[in-house]
Amino acid sequence: MSERFSNPSRLGLGVLFCVALATSATAPACSGGGSTPPAPDASADAAIEAAEARAELDAALADAALDAEADADAAADADADAAMDANASLPGTSEGCPSDMVLVAGEYCPLVQQRCVEHHDEFEKDQAKKKKASEGGEGSGPSTVSERCMKYEEPSVCLSKKRTPMRYCMDRYEWPNQKGELPALLVSWGDAQKLCEAKGKRLCTEAEFNFACEGEAMLPYTYGYERDPTACNIDKVYRKREKKLFKYERCMKRPECKAELEKLDQRLPTGSMPRCVSPFGVYDLNGNINEWVVRPKQKYPNRSGLKGGWWGPVRGRCRPTVGFHKEDDYGYEEGFRCCKEAEGT
């Protein structure tokens, strides 16, 4: 194919097609005026020329389609390269995982000893109050003060006789797993499970959350041994809920519910705290929003667990699991992220 047919938009294909028609014994002239048909003895040659012209036109259009397809492929490759470049600047690796997930692989310790050497003043005062009440023969009653540890002894100790090999993928960010978006809330364990499955993923298990958060060093906090509210979104002042909340979509349609949520909400965009990242490169596993996980040994309605803590003055570390929220529960501090099997596992 000659170079002049490589781009039909510049060739004047209409002219070419017009020539083909003009050489036909039955076609009108393209000029709009009358035209004298060719002599009968020239009709065969005209038909051949018209056929050749049509063949060249078809070939030119085919070349143009191939060029457009090549351009589309190049654009897709460029987008993929850009995504790879973006991921290359992030901690961790997505090897064996979708590009929006992180590979978590290594030896997990099921039973860990983490000894706190300094508690938060609020917790110390609450413990002293309980002790005094107990010594005076009074019941201390339930406490609303969380056990916040300010500093742990280093290093953590694995008490298990044998570590467990683990290899899986975890969303880099909290659902909807997009950096800069606010994490989902007012979603139940069951709904979270369905949303993950719709993406070809699943909810993470309790052990998967532990390992992704603490790494092989079994860090109490995803960033180390000392509590730091400047590293992750934790220890914000508690705001009491005063009105009923509904699941998110329904809440957004009710002005009263929406206003109450706005009063309570202290989330930050996912990935906005660069130090709140685990040894594997997963963001916000402590604080910001509690995350639903699966407790494999439990049965309905207790298969649900919440891990990582939220923005309030709660434990906000890797190992603890809150198990009293049932599968149908939802709250303004409850969200999730997804996991799936890594390739080659």
pLDDT score recorded for residue 239: 97
The CA-atom distances, in angstroms, between 10 and each of 4, 15, 219 are: 9, 11, 65
Query: Which residue from 282, 288, 327 is spatially nearest to 184, judged by alpha carbons?
Result: 288
The pLDDT, as a whole number, for residue 52 is: 67
C-alpha–C-alpha distance, residues 61 and 243, integer Å: 65
Whether 138 is in a domain gets the answer no
Confirm whether 127 is domain-assigned: no
195 and 305 share a domain? Answer: yes
Residue-range definition of the domain harbouring residue 16: 3-87
138 Cβ neighbours under 8 A, 6+ residues apart? none
Return the pLDDT at 77.
59
Exposure of 239 in the CB half-sphere (CA atoms within 13 A): 14
Angle at 335 (CA atoms; ends 332, 337), nearest 5 degrees: 170
Same domain, 180 and 255: yes
Q: Is residue 130 part of a domain?
A: no
Query: On the CB side of 68, how many CA atoms lie within 13 Å of its CA?
Result: 9
- Give domain status of residue 143, yes or no: no
CATH number at residue 329: 3.90.1580.10
Contact 101, 208 (CB under 8 A): no
The span from the CA of 333 to the CA of 345, in Å, is 33
Structure tokens at 29: 């002239």
Secondary structure element (H or E) that encloses residue 106, with its range: strand 101-108
Report the domain count for the chain: 2
Residue 75 Cα distances to 65, 71, 79, angstroms = 15, 6, 6
Domain assignment of residue 31, yes or no: yes
* pLDDT number for residue 136: 80
269 and 317 part of one domain: yes
Looking at the fold, whether 70 and 41 belong to one and the same domain comes out as yes
Q: Of 334, 324, 249, 331, nearest to 292 (Cα)?
A: 334
Which residues in the chain show pLDDT less than 50? 1-40
Q: Give the integer Cα–Cα distance in Å for 315 and 213.
A: 14
Q: Based on the domain organization, do 105 and 37 belong to the same domain?
A: no
- Residues 176 and 267: their CA atoms lie apart, in Å, by 14
How deeply is 277 buried, as exposed, middle or buried, from its count of CB atoms within 10 A (0-12, 13-18, 19+)? buried
78 and 109 in a single domain? The answer is: no
Shared-domain flag, residues 71 and 158: no
Q: Is the alpha carbon torsion for 218, 224, 228, 232 positive or negative? A: negative
User: Looking at the structure, do residues 194 and 296 belong to the same domain, yes or no?
Assistant: yes
Give yes or no: residues 267 and 211 share one domain: yes
